[in-house]
Amino acid sequence: MANFILRKAEPRDVPDILRLIKELAKFEEMEEQVVLTETELLQDGFGEQPFYHCIMAEVPEDRRSSDGHTVVGFAMYYFTYDPWIGKMLYLEDFYVMKEYRGMAVHTQYIHSTAVKSRCSGMHFIVAEWNKPSIDFYKRRGASDLSHEEGWRLFEIDKEYLLKMSAK
Amino acid sequence: MDFMIRAATPEDCKDISRMIMELAVYENMPDQVKISHEVLEQDGFCKNPFFHCLVAEVAEQYRTTEGYTVIGYALFFYTYSTWKGRSVYMEDLYVMPEFRGEFPGKGVGTALMSKVAQVCKEQQCVRLQFSVLNWNTPSLDFYKAKGAQDLTDSEGWHVLRFDGEALDKLAQMAPKN
């Protein structure tokens, strides 16, 4: 029997998705920044025009976690657009519960999303202090575009968006 | 100068394609543009569009020497933050050089961006993100004046990409289930 399976998320997975999002945020010491709710996740992921797609990692019953979970990881992605090459896939987050790491779940996620998309490329961002992740991606052939081409990521938050849209 | 900002139509794709190339030339990467206006039409106007576009159009008397009245565009799409939910990523913002600001903050670029900000508000998006090349001082100044924060600088975010051969190799190793 396989150690785990990967499958498409369903509406019933929403509580587990939020639980895992919070676990990852806790690991990044940013747990209080998660303001997303189950209602929003349900609306945004399973409505007429989904804002995201999710792949879940699930273990068999006999390998459930100490607090009873069989859903032990997730990968969230959505489609973006490069005006020069067309459709792209953007990997937003992926995470595996600590006790289930080392089974190559992370690697399988990436492979899985890459093959399903038929897109020209896959983009994502990584914090420069997160050396294990950067090495993980570079070993698999990713290029660091901030380094090679000088791209810098910018953000305008709600306060300034409201100011701008009032003009 | 009279201009208006409106949602792009499939017929605008020829102009958008032209301006995509102009922007690529400005960024010193013209040979990287691989898609045609037909692909834009397909991808931008299907049931679940892969992008949305606003165009800036001037009144007839301001048309360019080649006869263009569509003189700027903003191309964006929706993204998702696992912490905060719906967001917008602005992929391109471009105004033809001859239509850029005598009056910083009141011109076509600002109008395009304000409309994108309005879309964010209407769709309950929490933020607007975009990327700028580190040598592009005019753009860096333009965005910073509007309150944009450089997250590469303040939080150390780097943009990574898998494409071409690296992406194919990755895909070949996918589990069969």
The domain tally of chain A equals 1
Reply yes or no on whether the pLDDT at A160 is more than 90: no
Q: Is the dihedral of CA A166, B2, B8, B9 positive or negative?
A: positive
Percent of all residues in chain A with a pLDDT value above 90, rounded to a whole number: 38
pLDDT at B73: 97
Alpha carbon distance A112, A81 (integer Å): 20
- B48-63 pLDDT, tens digit each: 899 999 999 999 999 9
Contact A127 B155 (CB under 8 A): yes
What is the band of A10 on the pLDDT scale with cuts at 50, 70, 90?
very high
Q: What number is the average pLDDT over the span B155-167?
A: 77
Determine, yes or no, domain membership for A166.
no
Alpha carbon distance A10, A42 (integer Å): 9
CB distance B92 to B112 below 8 Å? no
pLDDT at A1: 47
Residues 6+ apart with CB under 8 A from A13: A54, A56, A71, A74
CB distance B108 to B3 below 8 Å? yes
The position carrying tokens 């791209």 is A151
Q: What number is the average pLDDT over the span A29-53?
A: 92
Q: Identify residue A67 by its one-letter amino acid code.
A: D
Alpha carbon distance B94, B134 (integer Å): 17
Q: Regarding predicted confidence, which is higher, A113 or B36?
A: B36
- In terms of phi and psi (left: phi > 0; alpha: psi -120 to 50; beta: otherwise), the region of A20 is alpha
Selection from A31, A36, A129, A136 nearest residue A76 by Cα: A36
Q: Identify residue B173 by its one-letter amino acid code.
A: M
Residues from chain A that touch B143, judged by Cβ atoms under 8 A, are 154, 156
Reply yes or no on whether the pLDDT at B12 is more than 90: yes
Alpha carbon distance A104, B55 (integer Å): 45
Assigned token pair, B93: 């913002």
Mean pLDDT of chain A: 83
Alpha carbon distance B5, A137 (integer Å): 40
Where residue A64 sits, what CATH number does that domain have? 3.40.630.30
* Domain range summary for chain B, segments of one domain joined by +: 3-150
Contact B114 A165 (CB under 8 A): yes
Which B residues 106-165 touch A at CB under 8 Å? 110, 113-114, 117-118, 120-121, 125-135, 143, 146-153, 155-165
pLDDT at A41: 97
Alpha carbon distance B65, B67 (integer Å): 5
Contact B148 A155 (CB under 8 A): yes
pLDDT at A116: 58
- B79-104 pLDDT, tens digit each: 999 999 999 999 999 999 999 876 66
**Which of A33, A76, A146 lies at the smallest CB-CB distance from B158?**
A146
A49: which DSSP letter?
Answer: S
Reply yes or no on whether the pLDDT at B74 is more than 70: yes
Determine, yes or no, domain membership for A150.
no
Reply yes or no on whether the pLDDT at A113 is more than 70: no
Reply yes or no on whether the pLDDT at B151 is more than 70: yes
Assembly ipTM: 0.83
Chain B nearest-CA distance from A159, in A, is 9
Distance of CA B40 to the CA centre of its chain: 13
Residues of B marked active site are found at 143
Q: What is the CATH number of domain B3-150?
A: 3.40.630.30
Reply yes or no on whether the pLDDT at B40 is more than 90: yes
